[in-house]
Structure 1
Amino acid sequence: MTKKKKKYTFRTFINDVHLWLGVASGIILFLVCLSGTILTFEKEIKSFFKEDFIVTAQTELLTIEELRDKLEKEGEVTRVLIPTTHTTPYQFTVKTSPKQRRGTTYYVNQYTGDYTADTKTAIDDFFMTMFKLHRWLLLDIPIGRPIVGIATIIFIILSISGIVLWFPKKLKWKSFKPGFKIKFSANWKRINHDLHNTLGFYTCIFLLIMSLTGLCWSFEGYRNIASDVLGAKVFGNRGGGTKLTSNLKPHESPVSIATILDTVNKEFPHQGKIYLSFPPNETGVYSVRKYNEEGLSPVISDQLKLDLNAKVRSKEIFAEKPLNEKITALIKPLHMGDIFGLFSKTIYFIACLIATSLPVTGVIIWINKLKKKKKRKPKQ
């Protein structure tokens, strides 16, 4: 008797899509997820290996103007980070050459004016390599970026199809139970299957968030569509927002930076570090971001633009923004996992680590199935 052919069901189709897309993109997804895992705690690892710039609190602070004047021999001073603690140095950003886009960080003792540049180390080089691997696979940007983007789209399809396959054929609690746990007492093939199936289920929501936000860096078209759907520009503040010019009248003199900071603290009375960007020219204005250290998220800031006479030109309180603008402003921290500080970073690290393992466990499942089919094949 000839065996009846099994029907090609929707579930079989989803299984085939999941299998072949996973096999085709496995190496790329492994490298992207591995580098993403390493980058999760980049700041913490870098700070651990850096030499401490020790500041001893004294009775009198030097003014920001005095500190800036000392640094101007190094290049164009563009901004300063003012911490909340007295023993943490100020951090000035200095463009040491016109070619520099972001500038060099200088740690400055706010009491003595002593400073040191944040020099690059082997750790910095390592993380830059991981960044390039994560974003462009160490290839030229025009080649590597779309490859990573396409792999990310595949990862989204794999995540969704994986959830569909996680659901058992019979929707009964008895059938659901095995999908929630890893049976470590079973043989290695079953453990490998559970590692893929169960861990993939638990991390799916985080992997989808990472993937959907990650595409904003890969494709301009996707970014524009996301902006249209959300009704707010994704990465809209990359250029610093609206460029304002000073309304200072000819008979008026610019106020001191101390007065500017007083205005900032009156507008935003909460405790938190302050990023103060200096006017780019004589007709520019101050741009300020202040973080609330007691807030829910350490990456959320309220923003001000202040004229040279300390008058408020624009004010943005994050809590008062519409939901769509909040979402677009949080695309980067949502992707990187630092939206809730160490707590969310730890979750993202575990999720990324699991994501790195999924191509490996998936390929092992596929190889085991191929071996099983060969054994079943009747000899001629």
Structure 2
Amino acid sequence: MTFKKAIGKLHLWLGLGSGLVVLIVSLTGAIFTFQDEIRDLTEPWRKVEMPATAPLLLPSRLQAAALEQHPGVKAATTWVTYYGPGRSATVYFTDPAGVPTQVYLNPCSGRVLYEQDLRRHFFSIVQAIHMTLLLPEAVAKWVVGGSVIIFMVMLGTGLVLWWPKRRQERRQRLTIKWGARWRRINYDLHNVLGFYAASIAVVLALTGLFMVFPGLLDSAMLVANGGRTYPQEKSVAQVDTLQAVTAAALPLPDVIYRTVQRHSRGAEMVLIGPAGNGKDPAYCWAYQRALHYYHRDEYAFHPVSGQVLQARFHAGRSNGGKLSDMNYDLHTGQILGLGGKIVAFLASLISASLPVTGTLLWWGRRNKKAKPKARASAPISA
């Protein structure tokens, strides 16, 4: 068996084994790419009209308004997010019945605009399928992660199979012969589109694997840092529970919000985590742009006094730290704006099509009709 035939066998059987998972993960990824744009069009409560100079309510006021109809939920367990000019704020919590709920409010008046049960939200379901296939997390990690790794191997073996032997064949390998029979069109769709999408598909697959296997991201960060390590970027803030502290004069979320406003000026999106149990820090993330997760500052606060225990600013991050911060935006393509999203969307659709066109190729070859042999002419009798 030649090297190329062995590669072909490997490509085939890996594809048949992982194709269904790759199809589902790629298709849901394509759907999720434009979730913010689609939701802005279909969910009017995500935006509000307010004067540019209107003051925003403090988090404790938003929590009180959101929980008015949920007296069993403690404010200390909620997440509060400000999304910037023209956008509503949200309060997220899980109610006593275990329902994950997101309440949208006018950040200036505190009026509740909409209450959303995230269990039934379309894009929450799409995201869950994309990340876990609705399997238990421990199982999904290896089913989804393993299939994505196989997909990356297949991109490499596919490139070997695609590579033309002669220069004059390259043009044929780069164009789809639309006027041919359907089997030839299917062959071209698999090979030509796969070649064009391969480089973007590798980026999407790698950034997805970084979310599933943090150790891979650590390795990528080490490479980006030229082998240097930055322990301060991995350090975890600690609360000294033996030290006597004075409780903050304001509710903790309000202290956090005002502190972040002073130190992260211009941040459009501010995410304030739960206040905690008094033993663990309270966290806050400030993002430069709404709905973008790359450029961010991170804070840890004392859960009683509101004192800043740790602050990491984007400007001081290492190259590896910035790579980690941009991972989600790379995965969705939004690191390059709308154009990047379109590219990610098309690459995801092509990735979803490859298991289909590949299976059709395999099935067609297995069931190819044999050409009838020419009958020998009868001898002429004397």
Q: Same fold (TM over 0.5)?
A: yes
Residues 137-176 of structure 1: pairs in structure 2 closer than 5 A: 137-170=133-166, 172=167, 174-176=168-170
Distance 1:112 1:246, change over 3 A: farther
Q: Could you tell me which residue of structure 1 aligns to residue 193 of structure 2?
A: 199
SS, match of residue 371 in structure 2: helix
Aligned twin of 1:302: 297
SS of 2:271's equivalent in the other structure is strand
Structure-2 separation of matches of 1:369 and 1:244: 65
Question: Between the two proteins, what is the percent identity of the paired residues?
Answer: 27
The residue that corresponds to 2:87 in the other structure is 88
Q: Distance in 1 between matches of 2:118 and 2:180?
A: 47
Residues 278/163 of structure 1: CA separation in 2 closer, same or farther (3 Å cut) = same
TM-score for the superposition, normalised by structure 1: 0.76
Count of residue pairs brought into register by the alignment: 357
Q: Does 1:227 align with 2:221?
A: no
TM-score (norm 2): 0.76
2:37 to 25, 40, 44: 44
Change over 3 Å in CA distance of 1:376–1:138 after alignment to 2: farther
DSSP 3-state at the match of 2:289: coil
Alignment correspondent of 1:107: 104
**Unpaired segments ≥5 residues, structure 1:** 1-7
- Name the counterpart of 2:79: 79
**Pairing partner for 1:181 from 151, 175, 181:** 175
Q: Corresponding residue for 2:378?
A: none
Rounded to whole Å, the distance in 2 between the matches of 1:338 and 1:241 is 29
1:245, CA displacement in angstroms? 5.3
The 3 A distance-change label for structure 1 pair 377 and 358 is farther
Cα distance between partner residues in 1 of 2:189 and 2:83: 44
Cα deviation digits, residues 267-322 of structure 1 (max 9, x gap) = 22334222223532456655322211399x65431122345666543221224322
Distance 1:334 1:104 in 2: 28
Q: Which amino acid aligns with 2:43?
A: K
Partners of 2:59 and 2:257 within 8 A in 1: no
Work out which of the residue numbers 2, 5, 13 in structure 1 matches 2:6.
13
- Paired with 1:24 and 1:378, the residues of 2 have a C-alpha distance of 40
The one-letter amino acid paired with 2:12 is L
- 1:91-118: CA deviation from partner (whole Å, max 9, x where unpaired): 1223433856xx5222223343322553
Q: Residue 123 and residue 345 in structure 1: after superposition, are their counterparts in 2 closer, same or farther (change >3 A)?
A: farther
Output the CA distance in 1 between the equivalents of 2:198 and 2:337: 21
Shift, 1:76, TM fit:
2.3
Report SS of the residue matched to 1:30: helix
Q: Do 2:237 and 2:300's aligned partners in 1 also have CA atoms closer than 8 Å?
A: no
Letter of the aligned partner of 1:104 in structure 2?
A: T
Q: Which moved more, 1:199-208 or 1:176-185?
A: 176-185
The separation in 2 between residues aligned to 1:121 and 1:190, in whole angstroms, is 45
Which moved further from structure 2: 192-201 or 303-312?
A: 303-312
RMSD: 3.9
- Give, as a single letter, the amino acid of the residue that structure 2 aligns with 1:76: K
Alpha-carbon distance in 2 for matches of 1:41, 1:294: 15
